[in-house]
Amino acid sequence: MRAFDELRKLEIFFKEESNRGCSIVELYELVQHAGNILPRLYLLCTVGSVYIRSKEAPAKDVLKDLIEMCRGIQHPVRGLFLRSYLSQVSRDKLPDIGSEYEGDADTAMDAVEFVLQNFTEMNKLWVRMQHQGPARDKEKREKERSELRDLVGKNLHVLSQIEGVDLDMYRETVLPRVLEQVVNCKDEIAQYYLMDCVIQVFPDEYHLQTLETILGACPQLQPSVDIKTVLARLMERLSNYAASSAEVLPVFFQVEAFAKLNIAIGKVIEAQDDMPVYGAVTLYASLLTFILHVHPDRLDYVDQILGACVKKLSGKGKLDDSKATKQIVALLSAPLDKYKDIDTALKLSNYPRVMEHLDNGTNKEMSNVIIQSIMKNRTYISTAEKVEALFELIKGLIKDIDENHQDELDEDDFKEEQNSVARLIQLLYTDDTEEMMKIIHTVRKHILTGGPKRLPFTVPPFTFSALKLVRRLQSQNENVSGEEAAATPKDIFQILMQTIEALSSVPVPELALGLYLQCAEAANDCDLEPVAYEFFTQAYILYEEEISDSKAQVTSIHLIIGTLQRMHVFGVENRDTLTHKATGYSSKLLKKPDQCRAVYACSHLFWLDEHNDMKDGERVMLCLKRALRIANAAQQMANASRGSSGSVVLFIEILNKYLYFYEKGVLQVTIDSIQSLIELIKQEMSGENTTADLSADAFFASTLRYIQFQKDKGGVVAEKYSPIKAEFAETS
Amino acid sequence: MVLVLALGDLHIPHRAADLPPKFKSMLVPGKIQHVICTGNLCVKEVHDYLKTVCPDLHIALGEYDEETRYPETKTLTIGQFKLGVGHGHQVIPWGDLDSLAMLQRQLDVDILVTGHTHQFTAYKHEAGVVINPGSATGSYSSINYDVNPSFVLMDIDGLRVVVYVYELIDGEVKVDKIDFKKTTASST
């Protein structure tokens, strides 16, 4: 390069010479007498440049002469540099449109001719480098070649800069000649580089119009050329071009860009039979991106690509090539990102078929991507058909596909995965109750295939989804009377009964118990007494047979009592049975404090505010007295085993309950009973063996304060409370 | 001025997919000093999310919670106020204010926060306040038919607490506020 700079100085010298009278033509002749050919030619080019500038001869002629002369150098590297110099020096002297060197005889065509010829010769030289020297130096040679490639590529750059090269000239002359050289040189490195160069250097509008030509060259290239990258780059450029402005889109349709690209890719894949799978998929992925930019509404095109992909993958079973699977995931994610609405993706019939070829791990990954996309866009899936299609797609998450394949999925990951399926179930919804019923059936069908591992995650959301439908049917039935409803709450309860039963295979009795009770309450609201009773029965059976952990028992009892307390649908007999059982369970809890609390909670079962016929003061008092006995027993036990009396908190709690029922007007809660309980508490608290319990003290104090507040209220309440003597106790 | 967020009964993923987006955009990290949760999150992801809103997180155990080590009840002191939180399924009858008042007396707190009914309530009586922030996701409840997503923000300032309730009704966030002043009743 430094030599070139020196030569530039020489050029200036020559120019001066000519100004001083020595004619250029003479100089031109003179330098040809130089001894060695290489310097001779460099000098010639230099003079030639001055010659053209002087305009003493038409540019075209001088250039022709020079380029012929350069043929004298056949050594690849020297030739390349010489011609590169020629190109550099002649660059601004080409007879282009609007340039000063344009004449009648000299046109842009000549300029193009010149550059094309230079390019052709340079390429030949460049390719020749490949075959020089011994085979063992091949790598070194190839490295050298890649360093020099820009010299060749520059010519194409110059071509693109020539103003005179409009679309027609490009299409008729430039491109065919260039491609001819590219194909004929049969050299892998040259072909790859030059194809890429052509794509990068010439404008996108030209590419669109000449698609067929350029694509036609692709199958003719050497099989080892990485044509997929070239095509991918071409499609990328065109995609970006399409995305850049809406006005260019009609041109795409006009030239049937998609059709041509599709055929070309097909041919390439066919021709290169041993192309690795991931190569083919990359091509399809690029084409898909192209379609999404240019023809986003043509779902049939998208499906076509997926179909072609399926065909290519057919017979290969599950892929274990990680590059290929990555590409497939990219391929499948593109429509999701573009359309944002899973509905569209579900319409692509080939989508699930492509997914089939992913190995289990990637299949799940893809399923997760799909779910995330749905959650992000908060789109509801509103028909049973779509639900079916969706569950087909994500079946890797719904059930074990391969019986023998053991999933080494980490427990936390599994939970996360199943939780996202659960969230998905929440989004399967439509206002149309009939359609919703169908959705319920579909969901149920699929989750029951999940096996014991998955049921605890999928059955709860299913249950609540169904219960929501029950509510809507209820309100519907109120408005639309007389019409036969396609689905009734009763049907849904039947389904629920069977589905929750499936949990016994896991088993998760506490969860199942909770769900049974939820259903019972819903049945209560629908006035379906036998159904509600059945749910309670199932819950009780679970409690008796499956729930043995003390803490779980306490929670379950609370749920049972709480639910039962709200039921109004039961007739006397049923109610009695259930209540009797509940109180029985309560008194059999292991720890005395738990027993006590459960038993006094049962007292509420006998006093329902809204129903006058369910107010049984006697049984309320029975419960409370029983609770008191248990509390006493607890105290004694604490005395006996630890030598100190236990906490007096239970008594205070029962006192509060006394006050509660007293206020409600339960006659059996007499003032005497309240008073004696207060005295008992004071006694216990000041006893010798009592351990100080600050929280119990505070509780008692706030209870007494409450009594005082009620007295201060005045009116009926104050009257009730006035007989109660409750002074603040001294805490020692 | 101390901001305390009270919410619960999200039931994610059993009954709801996620918090409403309008709520999520309001719960910006760094603005709230304490979070009180009545339980039934139900899964770890929700716990982690709440932790990002504010690291001082207090949760009571609900009957569907995945993490069984949350306490049944918890008390804490913020400024001049003693607060207590429990899920509420243990207090029978469910949602009965007098029974909840008993729990309040037992925990000896000025403000009791419980859930389970998925219905916002704020009940004031002589000894304090009983607050139910409702369900933050508006999830199904057997007890309450008309559930709107709701949560509560308490602004504790000296002896005064302003309770703001945020409810999502027909797609719009509506705010209401209730004032409580604590009398300097000394407890012996």
pLDDT band at A577 (very low <50, low <70, confident <90, very high): very high
Searching chain A, which residue's CA lies closest to the CA of residue B141? A518
Searching chain B, which residue's CA lies closest to the CA of residue A471? B145
Does B72 touch chain A if contact means CB atoms closer than 8 Å?
A: no
Contacts of B49 (CB under 8 A, 6+ apart): none
pLDDT of residue A731: 45
pLDDT of residue B188: 31
Partners of B181 in beta bridges: B160
pLDDT of residue A688: 58
How far A216 CA lies from chain B's nearest CA (Å)? 52
* Nearest-angstrom CA–CA distance, A448 and A314: 31
Condensed to tens digits (0 to 9), the pLDDT of residues B129-163 reads: 999 999 999 999 988 888 999 999 999 998 899 99
* Nearest-angstrom CA–CA distance, A441 and A430: 14
Residue A695 clears pLDDT 60, i.e. is over it: yes
Residue A537 clears pLDDT 90, i.e. is over it: yes
**Neighboring chain A residues of B187 at a CB cutoff of 8 Å:** 698, 701-702
**B186: DSSP letter:** P
pLDDT of residue A339: 81
Ordered DSSP codes for A172-240: IIIHHHHHHHHHHH--HHHHHHHHHHHHHHS-HHHHHHTHHHHHHHGGGS-TTS-HHHHHHHHHHHHHH
pTM of the complete model: 0.81
pLDDT band at A284 (very low <50, low <70, confident <90, very high): confident
pLDDT of residue A309: 82
In this complex, do A701 and B44 lie within 8 Å of one another by their Cβ atoms?
Answer: no
**B42: DSSP letter:** B
A709: nearest CB among B45, B98, B126: B126
Does B126 touch chain A if contact means CB atoms closer than 8 Å?
A: yes
pLDDT of residue A730: 47
Contacts of A189 (CB under 8 A, 6+ apart): A130, A142, A145, A146, A149
Mean pLDDT of A128-157: 81
Phi, psi of B164 (to 5 degrees): -100, 130
Say if residues A171 and A213 touch (Cβ distance below 8 Å): yes
Does A673 touch chain B if contact means CB atoms closer than 8 Å?
A: no
How far B35 CA lies from chain A's nearest CA (Å)? 24
Residue A587 clears pLDDT 80, i.e. is over it: yes
**Neighboring chain B residues of A381 at a CB cutoff of 8 Å:** none
Mean pLDDT of A117-137: 82
**% of residues, chain A, pLDDT over 70:** 91
Quote the tokens at residue A282.
């990359």
* Nearest-angstrom CA–CA distance, B139 and B145: 10
Does A698 touch chain B if contact means CB atoms closer than 8 Å?
A: yes
Mean pLDDT of A354-372: 82
Ordered DSSP codes for A236-304: HHHHHHHHH-GGGHHHHHHTTHHHHHHHHHHHHHHH-TT--HHHHHHHHHHHHHHHHHH-TT-HHHHHH
Does A415 touch chain B if contact means CB atoms closer than 8 Å?
A: yes
In this complex, do B14 and A518 lie within 8 Å of one another by their Cβ atoms?
Answer: no
Say if residues A465 and A425 touch (Cβ distance below 8 Å): yes
Which H/E stretch holds residue B2? strand B2-7
In this complex, do A559 and B14 lie within 8 Å of one another by their Cβ atoms?
Answer: no
The chain-wide mean pLDDT, for chain A, equals 83
pLDDT of residue B185: 46
**% of residues, chain B, pLDDT over 70:** 97
In this complex, do A422 and B13 lie within 8 Å of one another by their Cβ atoms?
Answer: yes
A555: nearest CB among B45, B63, B101: B63
pLDDT of residue A319: 67
Interface test with A, best of B102, B112, B125 (most A CBs within 10 A): B102
End-to-end CA distance of chain A: 104
pLDDT of residue A165: 77
Mean pLDDT of A291-306: 82
**Which of A266, A236, A225, A116 has its CA nearest to residue A179?**
A116
Residue B83 CB: number of other CB atoms within 10 A? 27
In this complex, do A566 and B106 lie within 8 Å of one another by their Cβ atoms?
Answer: no
Lowest mean pLDDT among A60-64, A87-91, A455-459, A685-689: A685-689
pLDDT of residue A102: 66
* Nearest-angstrom CA–CA distance, A130 and B186: 99
Does B30 touch chain A if contact means CB atoms closer than 8 Å?
A: no
pLDDT of residue A709: 87
Searching chain B, which residue's CA lies closest to the CA of residue A594? B90
In this complex, do B13 and A649 lie within 8 Å of one another by their Cβ atoms?
Answer: no
Lowest mean pLDDT among A249-263, A431-445, A558-572: A249-263
Does B118 touch chain A if contact means CB atoms closer than 8 Å?
A: no
Does A426 touch chain B if contact means CB atoms closer than 8 Å?
A: yes
pLDDT of residue A494: 93
Residue A620 CB: number of other CB atoms within 10 A? 24
Does A611 touch chain B if contact means CB atoms closer than 8 Å?
A: no
In this complex, do B14 and A464 lie within 8 Å of one another by their Cβ atoms?
Answer: yes
Residue A682 clears pLDDT 70, i.e. is over it: yes
Mean pLDDT of A658-685: 89
Residue B31 clears pLDDT 50, i.e. is over it: yes
Residue B118 clears pLDDT 80, i.e. is over it: yes
In this complex, do B187 and A698 lie within 8 Å of one another by their Cβ atoms?
Answer: yes
**% of residues, chain A, pLDDT over 90:** 22
Q: What is the dihedral of CA A549, A555, A561, A564, to 10 degrees?
A: -100
Q: How many CB pairs under 8 A join A and B?
A: 106
**Neighboring chain A residues of B13 at a CB cutoff of 8 Å:** 419-420, 422-423, 425-426, 457, 461
Does A559 touch chain B if contact means CB atoms closer than 8 Å?
A: yes
Does B146 touch chain A if contact means CB atoms closer than 8 Å?
A: no
Interface test with B, best of A411, A418, A706, A717 (most B CBs within 10 A): A706
Say if residues A467 and B140 touch (Cβ distance below 8 Å): yes
SS3 of residue A83 by DSSP? helix
pLDDT band at A190 (very low <50, low <70, confident <90, very high): confident
Residue A653 clears pLDDT 90, i.e. is over it: yes
Mean pLDDT of A648-657: 92
pLDDT of residue B23: 93
Mean pLDDT of A633-640: 84
Residue A134 CB: number of other CB atoms within 10 A? 7
Does B142 touch chain A if contact means CB atoms closer than 8 Å?
A: yes
**Neighboring chain B residues of A699 at a CB cutoff of 8 Å:** 105-106, 108
Sign, CA dihedral A688-A693-A698-A699, equals negative
Contacts of A598 (CB under 8 A, 6+ apart): A554, A557, A558, A561, A585, A586, A587, A589
**Which of A237, A156, A233 has its CA nearest to residue A190?**
A156
Which of the listed ranges A149-153, A341-345, A599-603, B141-145 does the model predict with the highest average pLDDT? A599-603
In this complex, do A566 and B143 lie within 8 Å of one another by their Cβ atoms?
Answer: yes
Does B105 touch chain A if contact means CB atoms closer than 8 Å?
A: yes
Quote the tokens at residue B156.
């504790």
* Nearest-angstrom CA–CA distance, A196 and A500: 63
**Neighboring chain A residues of B101 at a CB cutoff of 8 Å:** 706
Residue B186 clears pLDDT 60, i.e. is over it: no
* Nearest-angstrom CA–CA distance, A360 and A402: 8
Condensed to tens digits (0 to 9), the pLDDT of residues A204-245 reads: 888 888 888 888 888 788 777 777 788 888 888 888 888 787
Contacts of A40 (CB under 8 A, 6+ apart): A31, A32, A33, A34
pLDDT of residue B19: 92
Residue A405 clears pLDDT 60, i.e. is over it: no
Residue A505 clears pLDDT 60, i.e. is over it: yes
Does A416 touch chain B if contact means CB atoms closer than 8 Å?
A: yes
Name residue A39's amino acid.
P
pLDDT of residue A21: 63
Searching chain B, which residue's CA lies closest to the CA of residue A522? B142
Does A703 touch chain B if contact means CB atoms closer than 8 Å?
A: yes
Q: Which residue has the higher pLDDT, A493 or A46?
A: A493
Name residue A721's amino acid.
Y
B105: nearest CB among A425, A563, A703: A703
SS3 of residue B77 by DSSP? strand
ipTM over the 0.90 cut-off: yes
Mean pLDDT of A388-392: 88
* Nearest-angstrom CA–CA distance, A22 and A13: 12
* Nearest-angstrom CA–CA distance, A379 and A33: 83
Over the Cα atoms of chain A, what is R_g? 45
Which of the listed ranges A338-352, A411-425, A529-543, A716-730 does the model predict with the highest average pLDDT? A529-543
pLDDT band at A101 (very low <50, low <70, confident <90, very high): low
* Nearest-angstrom CA–CA distance, B186 and A411: 52
B93: nearest CB among A378, A426, A565: A565
Partners of B12 in beta bridges: B42
In this complex, do B15 and A518 lie within 8 Å of one another by their Cβ atoms?
Answer: no
**Neighboring chain A residues of B98 at a CB cutoff of 8 Å:** 660, 663
Does A253 touch chain B if contact means CB atoms closer than 8 Å?
A: no
Does B171 touch chain A if contact means CB atoms closer than 8 Å?
A: no
A419: nearest CB among B43, B98, B143: B43
In this complex, do B92 and A562 lie within 8 Å of one another by their Cβ atoms?
Answer: yes
Does A656 touch chain B if contact means CB atoms closer than 8 Å?
A: yes
How far A642 CA lies from chain B's nearest CA (Å)? 25
In this complex, do B90 and A558 lie within 8 Å of one another by their Cβ atoms?
Answer: yes
End-to-end CA distance of chain B: 27
